[in-house]
Structure 1
Amino acid sequence: MVAAVLRDARGRILLARRTAGRDLAGAWEFPGGKVEPGESPREALDRELHEELGIRVLDAVPLVAVPQAYPDKRIVLDVYTVDAYDGTPRGRERQALAWSPLEKLHGYPMPPADRPVVAVLSQPPRYLVSQETLEPAAWLAQLDKALAAGARRVQLRTRGLKPQVLADLAMDARTRCKAVGADLLVNGEAGLAADLGIGLHLPARQLMALSARPLPEGQVVAASCHDADELAQAEALGLDFAVLGPLRATGSHPEAAPMGWERFSRLREAVSLPIYAIGGLRPADVATARRHGAQGVAGIRAFWPR
C-alpha cells in the first residue's frame, strides 16, 4: 500500500474519506492505494494519485513505512511526502476530500496504519534521555545545548537525587523547554509530573501496574516497552507514545537481548501509537527507523551535544 501527504498553498494536508462498501468505510486516510504486481511503490503512488485525484506527481520523498496487522491481512503503508504535483486534487472516485491544518489531523477518525503518520508529521523525530547519574548544573548546561541544537522532546531520568533537588531541577528544565516549545518528561515520578504540569515517562513495571492513564490529556505520558504485552497496555491506557527496544546491544543494558529491526516491525504492526526505537542507535538513524514504522529514535549517550 502507498499513501501521500499532500499540502495546499496554505499548508493544509489532504485527507480522503473511505467510501461505502470498503473496509473501514467512513474513516479518513491519506490518499493512495494498492501496489499492483510489477509496480514499485513510487510507480503505484503516481498511478493511484492520478486515478483518485486527477493529479500528476512531480516530486515525492519517502516519509515513513508503517507495518500494520488487521484482522484479515497484514500491510505495509509506504507514505511519501509529495512536495510538488500538477493539477488540482478532486475526488474522481466520488470520495469526500478534506484539507486539514496539521494541528487538527488527530481529530479525524483514521485507519490504524494512518495514525502513526500524523505523529511523524507533528511530533519530534528524536527523544533525548538523560543519564541516571547526573549533576544538576552540568545537566542543565547540556540541556541548553541540546535545545539550541533542535531537541524538542527530553526525558529527565535520575537516580539518587533528593526529592527537593529533583523538583528544583525539573522546574528549571521545564522553564528551558517551555521557552522553545519542547516536551519535558520526568521518569517514574507521577506526582512531580502532575504538580509541575510536565510529561511522565513510565518504566515498564509501572506501566503494567496501572489500570488507567495517570495524567490527564494534554500532559504527555509515555512508557518503555520491550514486548507485545507492554505495547498493548500502553495503547489500552491511551498513552501518547512508547519507546521500544533494545534494537541493538548496549553498554547500559548488556543483559538485554537485542530485537533487531525485523522483530521491531512485527511488534509495531500490532498497535497504532507512535513508537521510538531505542538501543544502540544514533540520531542519524531516524530514516532507517522510519522505514520500519518508527516515529523516530531515542537514546542516551549519543544524543546529547558534547
Structure 2
Amino acid sequence: MRIDPPLPDILLITPEPPEPARFDVFLERLRGAVSSGMSLVQLRAKHLDAAAYGELAERACAICHRYAARLVLNGPLEEVPGVDADGVHLPSARLMQCQARPSGARPKLLSAACHSREQLLHAQAIGVDFVTLSPVLPTTSHPGEPTLGWSQFEALTAQVSMPVFALGGMTRETLSTARARGAYGIAGISAFW
C-alpha cells in the first residue's frame, strides 16, 4: 500500500505523559516539536487510564493537525474511538494477537513495534503500514537491554517490504547510517523531544 502523503524519515515517540494536572507542560513540548518540523508523532502512554489518555489524545491531535503533523495513538485505544488521530500503533504483544489488520484501521495508518523476525513477518502479513524495529543501539530508556546492532537490523529489514524505522539510540546523526542499513527512517524519544 502506498502511503499518501509519504512518511517522513523521523518518527517522534513521546515520553510517558505526566499526570493530567501537568498535561499543559507536556503539550507545550509537543507544540514545540511539531512547530519545529516533526511531522509524524506517536503518542505513547502506558500508564494513563482511558479517560486521561482520551483527553490527552484529543488535545495532542488538535496541536498536531494545526501544524500539519500526523498523530498515531499508542495507549488504551478502545476507549478513545472519537479522537480523530491519523492512526494507531500496536505494541508487539498486541500485534501478535491480531490475525488480520484491525477493521477500524483503514484508511488510518497502522504501525507496530517489532523486536524479531517473527514479529516483522507477522506485521507485514496483516498489512501494517510501517513498523519500528528495536532496540538497534543502546538506549537510555532501556539501559542494559540486548541490542540488535546494525548487521542484524539490516538482515531483518531485508526480509520485509514495508517501511521500517530504526529505534533505540537514534539521533539525527544516525539517520544516514540507518538508511544505508535498510531503514526507511529513524524513531526516538529523547533525541527528538
TM-score (norm 1): 0.58
What amino acid does structure 2 have at the position aligned with 1:174? C
Structure 2 Cα separation of the partners of residues 128 and 208 of structure 1 = 24
1:198-256 deviation line (CA, Å, top 9, x unaligned): 21111100000111212332211101101100001110110110000111112222342
Greater share of strand? 1
Structure 2 Cα separation of the partners of residues 147 and 192 of structure 1 = 26
Residue 131 of structure 1 is aligned with which of 15, 21, 46? Answer: 15
Q: Secondary structure at the match of 1:257?
A: coil
RMSD between aligned alpha carbons?
Answer: 2.0
Q: Secondary structure at the match of 2:88?
A: strand
Residue 211 of structure 1 is aligned with which of 79, 93, 99? Answer: 99
RCO greater where, 1 or 2, for CA within 8 Å and sep 6 or more?
2
The 8 Å contact of residues 188 and 206 in structure 1, kept in 2 or not, is answered as no
- The change in CA–CA distance for 1:188 and 1:163 in structure 2 (over 3 A counts) is closer
1:113-172 deviation line (CA, Å, top 9, x unaligned): xxxxx89x9211111111124241111000110011100111111243232221111001
- Counterparts in 2 of 1:136-175, with a 5 A limit? 136-175=23-62
Partner of 2:139: 250
Per-residue deviation at 1:195? 2.8
Residue 195 of structure 1 is aligned with which of 82, 86, 91? Answer: 82
Alignment length (residue pairs): 188
- The change in CA–CA distance for 1:251 and 1:277 in structure 2 (over 3 A counts) is same
Q: Tell me, which stretches of 5 or more residues in structure 2 are unaligned?
A: none
Structure 2 Cα separation of the partners of residues 292 and 194 of structure 1 = 37
Residue 279 of structure 1 is aligned with which of 168, 171, 174? Answer: 168
Which is further off, 232-241 or 184-193? Answer: 184-193
Q: Secondary structure at the match of 1:140?
A: helix
Partner of 1:49: none
Q: Calculate percent identity across the aligned residue pairs.
A: 35
Asked which structure has the greater CA Rg, the reply is 1
Partner of 1:98: none
What amino acid does structure 1 have at the position aligned with 2:146? A
The reply on whether 1:296 has 2:185 as its aligned counterpart is yes
The 8 Å contact of residues 188 and 203 in structure 1, kept in 2 or not, is answered as no
- The change in CA–CA distance for 1:193 and 1:125 in structure 2 (over 3 A counts) is farther
Greater share of helix? 2
The 8 Å contact of residues 225 and 242 in structure 1, kept in 2 or not, is answered as yes
Structure 2 Cα separation of the partners of residues 228 and 182 of structure 1 = 30
TM-score (norm 2): 0.89
- The change in CA–CA distance for 1:193 and 1:152 in structure 2 (over 3 A counts) is farther
What amino acid does structure 2 have at the position aligned with 1:182? A
Q: Tell me, which stretches of 5 or more residues in structure 1 are unaligned?
A: 1-104, 107-117
